[in-house]
Amino acid sequence: MKDKTILALTFIRNIVAELPGTEEKICFDTPAFYTNKNIFARLKEDEGDLVIYTEERDKWMEQYPDIFTITPHYIKYKYMLINLDRVDPQDLKILLIIAWKQRTSKTLLKKYLLTNED
């Protein structure tokens, strides 16, 4: 694994660690992040992109097409690819939290909202 991939993954792990009920598992031989057995993000096999769940991918892809993309495989799914070399860390943090919120249970979401102001 490349040094810059390790740094990005460390950043991602630090964000995810603060979200209740998350766990890291391997998916397609790469680290993936789950809540309630629902995947919300994973490192793509190329180690340069993060696959992330989003219900707003068109917005992100239109605004920053050099950072957010999809491949034909993801057209039918609510996922997009994030270029880890180009993404702003704050945008990555926001997207991870949103992805988790969209995939987690109501109970865990309430727990998170009680301790975090958005």
Q: Give the model confidence (pLDDT) of 13-22 as tens digits.
A: 999 999 999 9
CATH code of 18's domain: 3.90.1150.30
Domain hosting residue 93, numbered range: 3-106
112 within some domain: no
Contacts of 49 (CB under 8 A, 6+ apart): 43, 81, 82, 83, 84
60 within some domain: yes
Domain count along the chain: 1
Cβ neighbours of 21 (radius 10 Å): 15
114 within some domain: no
Q: Give the model confidence (pLDDT) of 3-48 as tens digits.
A: 888 999 999 999 999 999 999 999 999 999 999 999 999 999 999 9
Q: Give the model confidence (pLDDT) of 73-111 as tens digits.
A: 999 999 999 999 999 999 999 999 999 999 999 999 998
